[in-house]
Amino acid sequence: KEKVTTKTLQAKKVAKEKITMLTAYDYPTAKMIDEAGIDVILVGDSLGMVVLGYDDTLAVTIGDMIHHTKAVTRGATDTLVVTDMPFMSYKTGKINLTVQNAGRIMKESGAQAVKMEGGSEIVAEVEATINAGIPVMGHLGLTPQSVNQFGGFKVQGKTEKAAQELLEDARELEEAGVFALVLECIPARLASLVTEELTIPTIGIGAGKGCDGQVLVTQDMLGIFGDFTPKFVRKYAKLNQRIISAFKDYQNDVEEGSFPRKEESF
Ligand code: KIV
Ligand code: NA
Condensed to tens digits (0 to 9), the pLDDT of residues 120-161 reads: 999 999 999 999 999 999 999 999 999 999 999 999 999 999
Which residues does residue 114 pair with via DSSP β-bridges, in sequence order? 83, 136
The answer to whether 184 is a known catalytic residue is yes
Q: What is the pLDDT of residues 43-83, one digit of tens each?
A: 999 999 999 999 999 999 999 999 999 999 999 999 999 99
3-state DSSP call for residue 57?
coil
- Pick the residue whose CA is nearest to atom 8 on ligand 1: 44
Among 134, 139, 91, 128, CA closest to 114: 134
Neighbours of ion ligand 2 (CB under 5 A): 44-45, 84
Q: Which atom of ligand 1 is nearest to the CA of 21?
A: 7
The reply to whether ipTM tops 0.95 is yes
* Cα–Cα dist 75/52, whole Å: 20
- Pick the residue whose CA is nearest to atom 5 on ligand 1: 44
User: What is the b/e burial string over 16-42, where b = at least 16 CB atoms within 10 angstroms of the residue's CB?
Assistant: eeebbbbbbbbbebbbebbeeebbbbb
Cα of 262 vs centre of ligand 2, distance in Å, is 48
With both helix axes pointing from N to C terminus, report the angle between 160-176 and 123-131 in degrees, rounded to the nearest 10: 20
Say which range, 37-46, 70-79, 213-222, 223-232, has the weakest mean pLDDT: 223-232
Q: Which residues are annotated as a binding site for 3-methyl-2-oxobutanoate?
A: 45-46, 84, 115
Which residues does residue 113 pair with via DSSP β-bridges, in sequence order? 82
Q: What is the pLDDT of residues 165-195, one digit of tens each?
A: 999 999 999 999 999 999 999 999 999 999 9
Q: Which atom of ligand 1 is nearest to the CA of 46?
A: 1
Contact at 8 Å (CB) between 203 and 173? no
Region 239-260 average pLDDT? 98
| CA angle 42–127–172, rounded 5-degree value | 85
Which residues does residue 83 pair with via DSSP β-bridges, in sequence order? 43, 114
Contact at 8 Å (CB) between 217 and 24? no
Cα of 229 vs centre of ligand 1, distance in Å, is 14
CA distances from 69 to 54, 112, 158, 170 (A): 19, 10, 34, 27
Contact at 8 Å (CB) between 40 and 79? yes
Q: Which atom of ligand 1 is nearest to the CA of 216?
A: 6
Contact at 8 Å (CB) between 216 and 235? no
CB atoms within 10 A of CB 147: 17
Q: Among 46, 68, 178, 229, say which to mutate for ligand 1: greatest number of ligand atoms within 8 Å of CB.
A: 46
Ligand closest to 233 (CA) is: 1
Contact at 8 Å (CB) between 73 and 42? no
Burial tier of 149 (Cβ tally within 10 Å: 0-12, 13-18, 19+): exposed
Q: Which atom of ligand 1 is nearest to the CA of 203?
A: 7
Catalytic residue among 17, 165, 174, 184: 184
What value does the mean pLDDT of the chain take?
97
Type of residue at 178: V
Per-residue pLDDT at 229: 85
Q: Among 81, 217, 225, say which to mutate for ligand 1: greatest number of ligand atoms within 8 Å of CB.
A: 217
Among 119, 133, 44, 135, CA closest to 83: 44
Among 140, 117, 115, CA closest to 193: 140
- pLDDT(227) > 90: no
